[in-house]
Amino acid sequence: MRLLIIVTSNDDVRLLLGTLIEAGHRATKLASTGGFLRKGNTTLLMGVEDEDVDEVLHIVRSTCRRRVIHYPFHVGEHPGMVPQEAVEVEVGGAAVFILPVEKFYRF
């Protein structure tokens, strides 16, 4: 068994979760925030049997798409400062961590 930690954009999580549930998978959903853009993300925790990991990764790849946005870049540390220029930033997609699980219990 594996623990999958999937971090994805709030824009992609509805389709991802719906597809996972439709395929018979369970997930625990946690709200999270990205460190660079400070935008909302969702982190999913999933206990997945070894033989199902590839299926889950396929679902993640097919539902979490990368896209480029123009993000106002602020000079300095103060979020209230006037944007100096817009920069292209790639957002979306997903980061997936796969960890071995020694034991798993559901009560």
In a domain, 107, yes or no: no
Q: pTM for the whole thing? A: 0.76
Query: How many separate domains does the chain show?
Result: 1
The range of the structural domain enclosing residue 38 comes to 2-100
Q: Does the structure show a pLDDT above 70 at 35?
A: no
Residue 106 within any structural domain of the chain = no
Is the pLDDT at 15 greater than 60, yes or no? yes
Give the integer Cα–Cα distance in Å for 16 and 36.
Answer: 23
Q: Which two tokens stand for residue 34?
A: 């990205």
Query: Is position 37 within any domain?
Result: yes
102: pLDDT strictly greater than 80: yes
CATH number at residue 38: 3.30.70.120
- Residues 4 and 56: beta-carbon distance below 8 Å: yes
In a domain, 32, yes or no: yes
**Which residues make Cβ contacts (< 8 Å) with residue 24, sequence separation at least 6?**
none
The answer, yes or no, to whether residue 85 has pLDDT greater than 60, is: yes
